[in-house]
Structure 1
Amino acid sequence: MPVRSSSPSGSSSSSFDAWVSATPSVPRVRGRGQPRVGGGLRFAFYGRISTTGYQDPVSSRAWQIEAAQRVVAGRGRIVVEFFDPGASRSVPWVKRPQAAELLAAAADPDRGFDAVVVGEFERAFAGGEARRVIETLAGCGVQLWLPEAQGPVDLDDPEHRALLMMLGHQSQREVLRTRFRVRSAMAAQAREQGRHLGGRPPYGYQLVDAGPHPNQVQASWGRRRHRLDVDPVTAPHVRWIFACRLAGMSAAGIARELNERRIPSPGVYDRVRNPHRAQAVWTLRTVAAILANPRYTGRQVWNRQYTDHREAVPGDKRTSLGPVRIWNPRADWAISADRTHPALVSDDDFTAAQEISAQAVPEDGSQRRYALTGLLMCADCGRRLSGHWVNGRPGYRCRHGHTSAQPAAEDAPPWVYWSEARLVEQVIAGNAALPGVGGVASLAANLRRREAVIVCGSGSIKIETADDQPITPVRVRDESDAVGPRQKCSGLRETGHNRLNSTTTAARNRCGGCENCIGAAQQETPSDLTQSVMIDMGFNVSELSCAPRPRI
């Protein structure tokens, strides 16, 4: 039967609220007198929840503060609250926002509380953190009250010290036990049931509905299972990647071809799950990760990697050096016995692709050596030439910053390429002042001894040392651009010698030894010097782009 009120709604509500507020906070017990609080201690309440996505901060705070009120009932009241949502118990107080604010407030002589109370030990502490916090608060003249101690904690009491030690170990053990149970259960679900255990689907797949949740309670809440299915847009790209790898193409070559074809990378295709990779491109690592993923065979695979928390004390994150991802041995992977989703590559093709990736030497078993690595500089861009094996012979090339993830610029000069044999022949023939040089090994030793490099152009080569007059800068866009207030110094260029001090390295250029340039550099700011160096090099500063280009 509905309750009828004899007074207006507003009056009834106000009278009811007055009655509730006048009701004793502690239930009356027969035979015991109720202590009356004439002020008492002023308490600061501290609470915490681990996650905000799986816990309700409102309800969790409510039961924690209710438990704290039972502890202080009759001896004081809570006047201020500090509550940390989404903070792990293993994180020390100084790294929790609200806990750190509480400690700072406790150190203030004009604080508005006399003691700190928590609703449950595990909500606030783990390991030996409780003792450290109690000692810090005691130094400020503030007590800590715990429900487990039924009042204030006294570190001089042996029973209280033993209680803190037991509660700390119990809280830490709960972390380790939960971690072990979750990992073991997930491994069994992947191995025995072939279940998709969350996370982003591999490139080439999409998530589809797989029926009701196997847990009846979860299913009653409307939760559904998910499984992997072929993505009609990206699956052909995965098949093409494996086909190219089996045809002998390198992972870098595959990435370069994908970028040139304007195929969206995994980060660009799935913007919802990759909001931080809006400008991602295909890289060697991306292609290698796809080629090494056994889930493309149709099997569910889990535990390929694990998070090593690097904790000196297991379960205590305060002793962690920072989590890192580490690859597990293949024997520790949880692989489903049966296929759980459509395969994009056969078992034989996947195995063959892994064997190609595992080859450390060429097919003939010979070792590829590049004797002149680091001794060849590009005359166009100043980069060092990289080794490149062609037709069974060593060679060197400069792609002017072009990589699998960095397409070549439209106005970039042609690539510079020199075979090792032709390069050595022309260097020896054109430099009579190379005594005792008769091959590539002796030439490399001579260059290193003299601290010299070979500047290579598309059709010219020249040996340069630190004492030589530098070559004239190339690729000057306009003669007027190359003329500036410091045209007296024509030695500004990009080679491997005569590095300037930290004041001049902002330009990423070297000086050929001109005293005027060095003197001017010491009087200028790095930004002014950078601009002047670019002008002397023939670059139009107003047209420069801020996008960095990787050096090979």
Structure 2
Amino acid sequence: MTSPFGPPIDLTDLSFFQEANARPHRSAFLGRVSTKDNQNPATSIPRQVTLASERLEPGEEFVAYFWDVESGMLPPELRGLAPTAMYDALAVPTPRDGGFQDLVDRVEQLGVTHVLAERSDRVARHMLTSLTVEHELSKIGVEVVYANEPTGGTESGRLRARRYSQVDAEVYRATLMEMSMGGQMQHAINGWNHGYAPYPYVTVVDENAPKRESGRFGIARPKKKLAPHPDERRFDAARELCRLRRDEHLKGADIVAILEAEPDRYPIEDRWTWGRVESLIANPKLTGYQVYNRRATRTGRPGFSKFNPVSAWVWSPRPVHEAVVTVEEWKAAQEVTASLRAGSEEGGPLLRIRAAARRHGLTVTAVRSSGAHTLYRIGSRQIVLPTPLPDLVVRQVIEDMESGA
């Protein structure tokens, strides 16, 4: 800032005299559009450039352009990760030297003195993020300038206007999140599915759902419900792997071995894995209820989502699609899973039979069950075992396998 109280005589001829803020301006543009579908980056980004350009010095041009097409609610480390091909396909006339994170990483290398944006929420809707960026850049002598801020006046007045704007952006962010969460909860309560269909299901358009007319964002995506997969074996496979966990207390790797031993009976794209088995057993949608908010996608480690507590899940008030297991059976399976993870499972009677069968290269497979008895196939033999399974019967089965009977 130049002092308004100058010396009584001209001192510009002094060898050490220099004007305040004499460093040449080298300004970079920073912009953002939330989505490529609900907004048009090809018009929004150039508009932001035009507004930010009003804060350039006479004759000055931007030395680089950094902009993203993604939510301003993302943390800095997750910004700008979209592939270059996506940005090329948008045909935005403004050049792009990178995104938000590229600007932060390259600002010193480019000798940037000012970062210009239309307004603070183009940096981030989260106030902490925009404050952190301003602070980190100021430490290396880079000033962040927003085009919607007043010029002239005092620094305190400018700062007050900036902080009010950032508070507004964060309040707007919180309001959006509340409205979005409320809408997603109602979506689940009405029985409509979020995300991919679990293994034994497919998604089908709900013809009874209210249809919205085309609006400013185009035609709304249709509401979809879960329906049984056309391959009926998938329902049987899902029911069996849940039973193996619930009744036989098998671990994921053991269930995978059983499923892979009979691919015609338990079909799957690619192959069965521990993760697929465990996630399917844990999925409450198998009960016929629609369930939302099991995961918190915006918290936890970058690239991962953490599980919300069960008390935060949103369940439809009644079953909305065909169930693989009852709610009681699903709950029992979760209790077994918890005990296995806690290491408190000492090994049930069927575990002992399966362990003995593995020593002889045999697989134990449940063929059918009546509730009181279950027909198993052990290798080429079939045997009917009662439920519950007495220890005496277990010892007899193992002895028969050991003797080759």
- CA 1:251/1:151 → structure 2, altered by over 3 Å: closer, same or farther? same
- Separation in 1 of the partners of 2:39 and 2:288? 35
2:65 is the alignment partner of 1:69: no
Residue 211 of structure 1 and its aligned partner are, at CA, apart by 2.9
Which secondary structure state, in structure 2, belongs to the residue aligned with residue 165 of structure 1?
A: helix
Identify the residue that residue 121 of structure 1 maps to in structure 2. 120
- CA 1:325/1:265 → structure 2, altered by over 3 Å: closer, same or farther? farther
Identify the residue that residue 219 of structure 2 maps to in structure 1. 221
- Separation in 2 of the partners of 1:169 and 1:51? 22
- Separation in 2 of the partners of 1:244 and 1:100? 48
Which ranges in structure 1 are unaligned for 5 or more consecutive residues? 1-39, 270-277, 311-319, 370-387, 405-457, 459-552
Which residue identity is paired with 1:165? R
- Separation in 2 of the partners of 1:392 and 1:257? 13
User: Which of 224, 230, 233 lines up with 1:232 in the alignment?
Assistant: 230
Over alpha carbons, which structure has the higher Rg? 1
Identify the residue that residue 256 of structure 1 maps to in structure 2. 257
| 8 Å CA contact retained: 1:251, 1:287 | no
User: Which of 150, 168, 179 lines up with 2:166 in the alignment?
Assistant: 168
| 8 Å CA contact retained: 1:67, 1:120 | no
Residue 127 of structure 1 and its aligned partner are, at CA, apart by 1.8
| 8 Å CA contact retained: 2:213, 2:220 | no
- Separation in 1 of the partners of 2:351 and 2:302? 47
Which residue identity is paired with 1:337? P
| 8 Å CA contact retained: 1:131, 1:164 | no
Once the two structures are superposed, what CA deviation does each residue of 1:138-192 show, in whole Å capped at 9, x if it has no partner?
Answer: 566554332232348x9x711222223222333233333322221222112212x
The count of residues paired between Structure 1 and Structure 2 equals 313
Which residue identity is paired with 1:122? D
- CA 1:300/1:242 → structure 2, altered by over 3 Å: closer, same or farther? same
Once the two structures are superposed, what CA deviation does each residue of 1:216-251 show, in whole Å capped at 9, x if it has no partner?
Answer: 235872642222111121223223445556764635
Identify the residue that residue 490 of structure 1 maps to in structure 2. none
- CA 1:136/1:48 → structure 2, altered by over 3 Å: closer, same or farther? same
User: Which of 182, 188, 191 lines up with 1:194 in the alignment?
Assistant: 191
RMSD value, Cα: 4.6
- Separation in 2 of the partners of 1:202 and 1:61? 39
User: Which of 16, 29, 33 lines up with 1:49 in the alignment?
Assistant: 33
Q: TM-score w.r.t. structure 1 length?
A: 0.46
- Separation in 1 of the partners of 2:317 and 2:198? 19
- Separation in 2 of the partners of 1:131 and 1:244? 53
Of structures 1 and 2, the one scoring higher in RCO (CA 8 A, sep 6+) is 2
2:147 is the alignment partner of 1:147: yes
- Separation in 2 of the partners of 1:114 and 1:247? 67
- Separation in 2 of the partners of 1:95 and 1:50? 11
Residue 358 of structure 1 and its aligned partner are, at CA, apart by 2.6
- Separation in 2 of the partners of 1:136 and 1:228? 48
| 8 Å CA contact retained: 1:227, 1:341 | yes
Identify the residue that residue 519 of structure 1 maps to in structure 2. none
| 8 Å CA contact retained: 1:128, 1:168 | no
Which ranges in structure 2 are unaligned for 5 or more consecutive residues? 1-23, 81-97, 364-401
Which residue identity is paired with 2:43? S
| 8 Å CA contact retained: 1:106, 1:140 | no
Once the two structures are superposed, what CA deviation does each residue of 1:352-411 show, in whole Å capped at 9, x if it has no partner?
Answer: 45336536999xxxx987xxxxxxxxxxxxxxxxxx6669999x98979x9x9xxxxxxx
- Separation in 2 of the partners of 1:43 and 1:392? 69
Residue 74 of structure 1 and its aligned partner are, at CA, apart by 6.5
2:189 is the alignment partner of 1:205: no
Which secondary structure state, in structure 1, belongs to the residue aligned with residue 50 of structure 2?
A: helix
- Separation in 1 of the partners of 2:159 and 2:286? 56
Structure-to-structure mapping, 1:10-409, within 5 angstroms: 43-52=27-36, 54-72=38-56, 76-78=60-62, 80-86=64-70, 88=72, 91-92=75-76, 97-103=98-104, 106-108=107-109, 111=111, 115-125=114-124, 126-134=126-134, 137=137, 142-151=142-151, 157-191=155-189, 193-196=190-193, 198-211=194-207, 214=210, 216-218=212-214, 221=219, 223-233=221-231, 234-242=234-242, 248=248, 250=250, 252=252, 253-262=254-263, 269=269, 280-283=271-274, 286-307=276-297, 309=299, 324-329=305-310, 331-345=311-325, 347=326, 350-352=327-329, 354-355=331-332, 358=335
- CA 1:151/1:343 → structure 2, altered by over 3 Å: closer, same or farther? same
- Separation in 2 of the partners of 1:78 and 1:389? 71
Which residue identity is paired with 2:44? S
